[in-house]
């Protein structure tokens, strides 16, 4: 009986780690490709860094460079070239938006948008914006 329980718990742990590794977050929506998974993880990192920055300074960072060392945001992450994606960041003290544009749109490379709400929006074959549908 103990062996069976341990095997079930081990199976749940392995499945959970695979989901986190593929999506960048236990709660993230499924990505269609590894490139999307990495991009969504990047977006979650920026959102968390902005939350930390606002908590510390009372406003949002106005550039990606200002986010370095906020949460787990590194100097390398300030580079707008993210492999298969390009980052567009617009920041003001009271608001920000982040767009990840694929270098080539296809079924495995959609565009993503997030702002201070933390809600990620998706564009299937065009840049995502505040009006785009929520990522499910």
Task: Give 15 or 49, the one with higher predicted confidence.
Answer: 49
Q: From CA 53, how far away is CA 116, in angstroms rounded?
A: 12
Instruction: Please give the sequence-ordered ranges of beta strands (E in DSSP) within 93-131, or none if there are none.
Output: 95-102, 111-115, 121-123
Q: Which long-range contacts (CB under 8 A, 24 or more apart) does 77-83 make?
A: 77/42, 77/45, 77/46, 82/38, 82/39, 82/42, 83/35, 83/38
Q: What is the mean pLDDT of residues 46-65?
A: 98
Task: Give 87 or 17, the one with higher predicted confidence.
Answer: 87
Mean pLDDT of the chain: 86
Beta strand 85-92 with 121-123 is unpaired
pLDDT digits (tens, 9 = 90+) for 75-116: 999 999 999 999 999 999 999 999 999 999 999 999 999 999
- What is the arrangement of strands in the sheet containing 81-82, beginning at the earlier edge strand? 81-82, 85-92, 95-102, 111-115, 121-123
Domains recognised in the chain with CATH numbers: 28-123 (3.30.540)
């Amino acid at each position: 009986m103990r062996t069976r329980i341990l095997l079930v718990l081990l199976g749940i742990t392995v499945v959970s780690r695979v989901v986190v590794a593929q999506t960048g977050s236990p709660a993230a929506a499924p990505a269609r490709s590894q490139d999307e998974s990495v991009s969504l993880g990047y977006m979650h990192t920026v959102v968390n860094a902005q939350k930390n920055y606002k908590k510390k300074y009372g406003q949002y960072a106005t550039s990606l460079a200002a986010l370095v060392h906020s949460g787990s945001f590194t100097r390398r992450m300030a580079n707008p070239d993210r492999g298969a994606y390009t980052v567009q960041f617009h920041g003001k003290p009271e608001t920000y938006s982040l767009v990840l544009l694929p270098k080539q749109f296809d079924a495995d490379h959609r565009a993503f948008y997030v702002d201070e709400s933390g809600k990620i929006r998706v564009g299937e074959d065009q840049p995502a914006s505040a009006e785009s549908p929520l990522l499910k």
